[in-house]
């Protein structure tokens, strides 16, 4: 009854505000919103390989899965999930490059973690519900803020200012006790100038993998002032996540065959010799973002954008550990009745407490010949890493909140760039982009492995880019671009002794075709085709191994390259039937890769780069039998791939082909509400047992045969969910 009353109050509020709403030029407001990402995005005619998704497309499948799964059907994209069903820890790879090498910005502000360089969407659950549009640039792309794009860059624009007041209540439910609930509102423009909008969300799921549960909460609040030439936004958004750990995967072939949901995280043996699982083996983290964005248009030629950001993150992961050595935690040996005790069962927490500050300023000049943007970016990050023992069977001399390791990382970055597009004539357009990026990274203290880590490195990177577009006729366009990028090592790389930055030269050659008959008529066709060659020096490829917290480790491959062909299309087969296929064919090679085998260094010649399938294909077939109903048949094929760089058969992941069904039905012309949108997503409709991710390791065994060294290989896997579903309804006021 209380929920119904709250809903009625919200509904009344939205309808009242809507009645007070006054007219405004929505086109100008949208244009001002887009200035937020103008410096990091490209337009349709740019010589940069890219794909766009807008809010309408995202809403079709927005039932609780993370942003990587919203991108799953774009070219060269591969997604995976620890819990197996797209909720919790999810990951994306583009052209074989993992998330730590995909530059991500939110309203032009870097989202990648400064030290690990990864993106953790679990910290921003349901952020899809607050995204106006996004652009994925494959390859080096245009200059952006934050760590260099070595596989792609992804920039997201949060919700635009709404002219009209509205309210939304959305609920979805599905397999593995998954459910999502959110409420959104906007006051619309009050007095023609002011808007307040917001969202609250909660997502919970038990996960496909045993105990891989997620308890996620998030919020988004926006206050905006807008007039003819000014847009000022103050944003506060963030999330809280508690996920049961599931990063161990499955190493046992028998369990992979007969018990593929088994999760060894939290496993221990009680006093009676029975296997138990610790109930709080969780990751618990909170992250809050504060942004102030000011866009100013001075006239038809000049505009500016100034952005300020502060991000606060703090949390830990908790583990039950058996028979741990006292020495690891600084405990003193205990003598009891003549017995010496120097090991104990315990529960530990490893903490990360970090702050990120950023300032960004851009200026744009545009006329009918030239479009110029210049800008500067500065950021400062500080993060404390420390560990605590919160319980021990034998606590020795320890005190509550003692830290058994403690370290700090500080990173500052200053970036300047200028880029311009110049239209030579009706057919030729030239693009140039120059970026200077200057970094200082300082690490001090003790790592979780109880080893001293002291780093004080300065980097200065120059990243030029250039391109040319030729418009043959209204239907055919050709482009060529070159981009150079550098990338500094991450904290994990330094812990592995890697200090050399990576370098990339990216060449892109593309053809865009567009045939556009009258609206709604069959025959509308768009085709984007491009060939890319990415030439790396000292590329840090995934070794296949994980560290003790489930993070992937990397190794330098010396020389390596990626050569590929990408094709994506939109074909209007009938007035109410269209298909959006894409395919990426590539060869991804380490050149003269050297590894240790049986106690000796061996040059294996050219080997396949880890986690880089040579074929990735997708398709979205959409059919609308009636105006209010849309059916989507979604397909994804990922070819076989190696989890290591030595072409070992033990490291091979089999190819997989997965199909999903998406249904959207809209009811409108209803009393009291604007419309009700029903949606359903049936994932893996053919019940395929597939694996999209895993790990691979080797070690030297010199005990089995004294006097000899034998390299032993092993692998682990992350099984993905079999057939499962999500259904939901969104009520819009």
DSSP 342-408: -EEEEEEEEEEEEEEEEEEEEEEEE-SSEEEEEEEEEEEEEEEEEEEEEEESS-TT--TT-EEEEEE
CA nearest neighbour of 378 among 140, 146, 606: 146
CA nearest neighbour of 729 among 59, 8, 57: 59
CA pair distance 341, 287, nearest whole angstrom? 41
DSSP state of 140: S
Buried b (16+ CB within 10 A) or exposed e, 630-664: bebebebbbbebbbbbbebeebbbeebebbbebeb
Contacting residues for 609 by C-beta, under 8 A, at least 6 apart: 96, 539, 541, 557, 560, 562, 588, 589, 590, 645
Token digits for 655? 């190819």
Strand locations in 249-369 (E)? 267-269, 275-277, 282-297, 302-325, 334-336, 339-341, 343-366
pLDDT of 705: 64
Q: Bridge-partner residues for 713, per DSSP?
A: 698
pLDDT of 518: 62
Residue 7, number of CB atoms within 10 A of its CB: 15
Separation in Å, CA 508 to CA 8, 424, 533: 54, 21, 7
Q: Can you tell me whether residue 550 is helix, strand or coil?
A: coil
Please indicate whether residue 322 or residue 17 has the higher confidence score (pLDDT).
322
> Distance between the two ends of the chain, CA-based, in angstroms?
20
**pTM for this prediction:** 0.92
Contacting residues for 428 by C-beta, under 8 A, at least 6 apart: 468, 469, 470, 471
β-pair type (343-366, 652-653)? unpaired
pLDDT per residue over 641-665, tens digit each?
A: 999 999 999 999 999 999 999 999 9
pLDDT at residue 68 above 80? yes
The C-alpha torsion from 335 through 336 and 342 to 344, rounded to 10°, is -150
pLDDT of 51: 95
DSSP state of 242: E
Q: Can you tell me whether residue 183 is helix, strand or coil?
A: strand
Phi, psi of 341 (to 5 degrees): -115, 120
CA pair distance 72, 61, nearest whole angstrom? 11
At 268, the pLDDT band (50, 70, 90 cuts) reads very high
pLDDT of 400: 86
pLDDT at residue 720 above 50? yes
CA pair distance 648, 652, nearest whole angstrom? 7
Instruction: Provide the percentage of residues in the chain whose pLDDT is more than 70.
Output: 94
CA pair distance 327, 349, nearest whole angstrom? 17
pLDDT of 711: 83
CA pair distance 342, 359, nearest whole angstrom? 51
DSSP state of 112: S
What is the arithmetic mean of pLDDT over 155-172? 95
What is the arithmetic mean of pLDDT over 706-721? 86
pLDDT at residue 31 above 90? no
CA angle in degrees (0–180, nearest 5) for 542-546-551: 85
pLDDT of 707: 64
Worst-scoring range by mean pLDDT, 153-162, 333-342, 398-407, 705-714?
Answer: 705-714
Q: Are 422 and 370 contacting, i.e. CB atoms less than 8 angstroms apart? A: yes
pLDDT per residue over 555-595, tens digit each?
A: 989 899 999 999 999 999 999 999 999 999 999 999 999 98
At 4, the pLDDT band (50, 70, 90 cuts) reads very low
Q: Are 644 and 611 contacting, i.e. CB atoms less than 8 angstroms apart? A: no
At 704, the pLDDT band (50, 70, 90 cuts) reads low
Q: Bridge-partner residues for 422, per DSSP?
A: 370, 430
pLDDT of 197: 97
Question: What is the Cα gyration radius of the chain?
Answer: 26
Q: Bridge-partner residues for 387, per DSSP?
A: 350, 405
Contacting residues for 48 by C-beta, under 8 A, at least 6 apart: 42, 137, 139, 141, 142, 431, 467, 481, 508
CA pair distance 95, 152, nearest whole angstrom? 8
Q: For the domain 210-732, what is the CATH superfamily, name and number?
A: TonB-dependent receptor, beta-barrel domain (2.40.170.20)
CA angle in degrees (0–180, nearest 5) for 204-266-275: 120
What is the arithmetic mean of pLDDT over 193-206? 97
Contacting residues for 251 by C-beta, under 8 A, at least 6 apart: 714, 715, 716, 717
DSSP 481-540: EEEEEEE---HHHHHTT--PPEEEEEEEEEEEEEE--STT-TT-EEEEEEEEEEEEES-E
pLDDT of 21: 35
Q: Are 534 and 95 contacting, i.e. CB atoms less than 8 angstroms apart? A: yes
Token digits for 504? 């990339």
Average pLDDT over the chain, rounded to an integer = 91
Instruction: Provide the percentage of residues in the chain whose pLDDT is more than 90.
Output: 81
pLDDT of 596: 83
pLDDT per residue over 572-582, tens digit each?
A: 999 999 999 99
Token digits for 65? 């899965």
pLDDT of 549: 76
pLDDT of 709: 74
pLDDT per residue over 272-298, tens digit each?
A: 899 999 999 999 999 999 999 999 999
Q: Are 651 and 713 contacting, i.e. CB atoms less than 8 angstroms apart? A: yes
CA pair distance 354, 311, nearest whole angstrom? 8
At 700, the pLDDT band (50, 70, 90 cuts) reads confident
Please indicate whether residue 270 or residue 587 has the higher confidence score (pLDDT).
587
pLDDT of 150: 86
CA pair distance 173, 659, nearest whole angstrom? 20
Which stretch of DSSP H or E encloses residue 72?
A: none
At 600, the pLDDT band (50, 70, 90 cuts) reads confident
Residue 397 burial by Cβ neighbours in a 10 Å radius (0-12, 13-18, 19+): exposed
pLDDT of 438: 97
Token pair 């992961």: residue: 317
CA pair distance 364, 250, nearest whole angstrom? 52
Q: Bridge-partner residues for 441, per DSSP?
A: 411, 457
φ/ψ region of 117 (left if φ > 0, alpha if ψ in -120 to 50, else beta) reads left
Token digits for 525? 């066709």
Separation in Å, CA 63 to CA 52, 70, 186, 453, 677: 20, 10, 21, 43, 12
pLDDT of 487: 93
């Amino acid at each position: 009854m209380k929920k119904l009353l709250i809903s009625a109050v919200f509904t009344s509020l939205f309808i009242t505000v809507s009645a007070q709403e006054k007219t405004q030029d929505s086109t100008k407001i949208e244009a001002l919103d887009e200035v937020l990402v103008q410096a990091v995005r490209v337009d349709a005619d740019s010589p940069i390989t890219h794909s766009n998704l807008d809010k309408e497309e995202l809403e079709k499948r927005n039932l609780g899965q993370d942003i990587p799964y919203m991108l799953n059907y774009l070219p060269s994209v591969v997604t995976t999930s620890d819990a197996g069903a797209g909720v919790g820890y999810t990951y994306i790879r583009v052209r074989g490059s993992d998330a730590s090498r995909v530059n991500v910005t939110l309203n032009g502000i870097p989202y990648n973690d400064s030290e690990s360089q990864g993106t953790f969407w679990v910290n921003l659950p349901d952020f899809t519900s607050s995204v106006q549009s996004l652009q994925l640039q494959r390859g080096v792309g245009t200059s952006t803020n934050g760590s260099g794009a070595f596989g792609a860059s992804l920039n997201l624009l949060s919700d635009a200012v709404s002219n009209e007041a509205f309210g939304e209540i959305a609920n979805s439910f599905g397999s593995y006790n998954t459910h999502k609930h959110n409420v959104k509102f906007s006051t619309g423009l009050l007095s023609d100038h002011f808007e307040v909008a917001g969202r609250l969300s909660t997502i919970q799921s038990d996960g496909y993998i045993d105990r891989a549960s997620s308890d996620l909460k998030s919020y988004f609040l926006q206050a905006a002032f807008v007039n003819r030439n000014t847009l000022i936004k103050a944003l506060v958004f963030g999330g809280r996540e508690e996920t049961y750990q599931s990063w161990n995967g499955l190493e046992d072939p028998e369990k992979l065959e007969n018990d593929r949901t088994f999760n060894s995280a939290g496993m221990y043996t009680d006093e009676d010799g029975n296997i138990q699982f610790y109930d709080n083996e969780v990751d618990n983290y909170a992250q809050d973002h504060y942004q102030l964005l000011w866009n100013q248009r001075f006239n038809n030629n000049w505009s500016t954008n100034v952005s300020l950001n502060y991000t606060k993150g703090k949390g830990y992961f908790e583990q039950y550990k058996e028979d741990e050595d006292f020495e690891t935690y600084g405990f003193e040996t205990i003598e009891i009745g003549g017995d010496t005790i120097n090991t104990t069962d315990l529960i530990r927490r490893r903490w990360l407490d970090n702050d990120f500050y950023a300032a960004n300023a851009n200026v744009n000049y545009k006329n009918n010949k030239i479009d110029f943007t210049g800008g500067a970016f500065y950021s400062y990050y500080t993060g404390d890493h420390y560990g605590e023992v919160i319980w021990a069977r034998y606590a020795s001399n320890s005190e509550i909140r003692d830290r058994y390791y403690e370290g700090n990382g500080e990173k500052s970055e200053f970036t300047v760039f200028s880029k311009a597009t110049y239209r030579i004539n009706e057919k030729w357009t030239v693009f140039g982009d120059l970026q200077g990026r200057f970094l200082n990274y300082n690490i001090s203290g003790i790592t979780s492995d109880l080893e001293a880590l002291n780093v004080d490195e300065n980097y200065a990177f120059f990243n030029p880019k250039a391109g040319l577009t030729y418009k043959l006729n209204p239907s055919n366009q050709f482009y060529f671009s070159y981009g150079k990028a550098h990338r500094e090592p991450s904290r994990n790389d330094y812990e592995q002794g890697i200090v050399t930055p990576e370098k990339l030269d990216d060449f892109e050659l593309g053809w865009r075709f567009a045939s556009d008959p009258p609206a709604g008529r069959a025959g509308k066709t768009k085709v984007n085709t491009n060939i890319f060659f990415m030439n790396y020096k000292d590329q840090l490829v995934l070794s296949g191994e994980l560290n003790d917290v489930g993070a992937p480790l990397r190794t330098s491959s010396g020389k390596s390259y990626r050569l590929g062909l990408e094709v994506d299309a939109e074909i209007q087969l009938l007035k109410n039937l269209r298909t959006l296929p894409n395919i990426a064919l590539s060869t991804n090679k380490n050149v003269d890769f050297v590894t240790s085998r049986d106690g000796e260094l061996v040059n294996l010649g050219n080997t396949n780069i880890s986690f880089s399938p040579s074929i990735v294909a997708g398709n979205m077939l959409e059919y609308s039998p009636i105006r209010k109903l849309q059916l989507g048949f979604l397909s994804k094929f990922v070819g076989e791939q190696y989890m290591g760089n030595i072409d070992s058969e033990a490291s091979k992941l089999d190819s997989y082909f997965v199909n999903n069904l998406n249904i959207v039905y809209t009811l409108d012309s209803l009393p009291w509400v604007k419309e009700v949108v029903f949606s359903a997503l049936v994932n893996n409709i053919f019940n395929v047992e597939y694996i999209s991710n895993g790990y691979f390791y080797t070690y030297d065994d010199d005990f089995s045969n004294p006097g000899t060294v034998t390299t032993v290989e092993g692998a682990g896997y992350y099984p993905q969910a079999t057939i499962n579903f999500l259904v939901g309804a969104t009520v819009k006021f």
